[in-house]
Structure 1
Amino acid sequence: MNEQVTEVKRAGKLPMLAVLTLIVIVGLLGAVIWMAWSADSPSAADDAAPHPVQPAELPSPADGAVPARPANGGPAQQGGEKG
């Protein structure tokens, strides 16, 4: 009877291995199909290419840009001393 129990345990592992292998194969096929299907689709980088996110350099005050001011509105302090 001990041999029959061992044989049943081995038979249970084979279908589980087959199911896992099938899941992996379906996942890989899905990834390949997805990549082939979306290869010619525009990406976010393609859509944003003509529109820069930020300027290459800061605008100068001569062009009408307002310089940054401290959050508290007071004069900037030098050396970290409070006066």
Structure 2
Amino acid sequence: MSNVIQFQQPAAHDIYADKIESLKSQLRQELAAIVGQATKPCGTADIDWMIQKLSDANETLCELDGVMCLVELLDA
């Protein structure tokens, strides 16, 4: 009888889910700050900057959702 030690590899979801949720939370906070800025008087350049930031954040959120889908596939 041999002594074999088996290690169970953690699921990809367990490894990445918390990190991705943390990034999404940070993005939501940034979005809230940008929206808060939008309620103050500002010029066209500021509005363009806000629109670009919102667009970038939305794109990143979509990418993070895509990464989570891939992680789920790895665990399947």
TM-score, length-scaled by structure 1: 0.38
Return the structure number with greater relative CO, CA threshold 8 A, min gap 6. 2
Which protein shows a greater Rg?
1
**Whose helix proportion is higher, 1 or 2?**
2
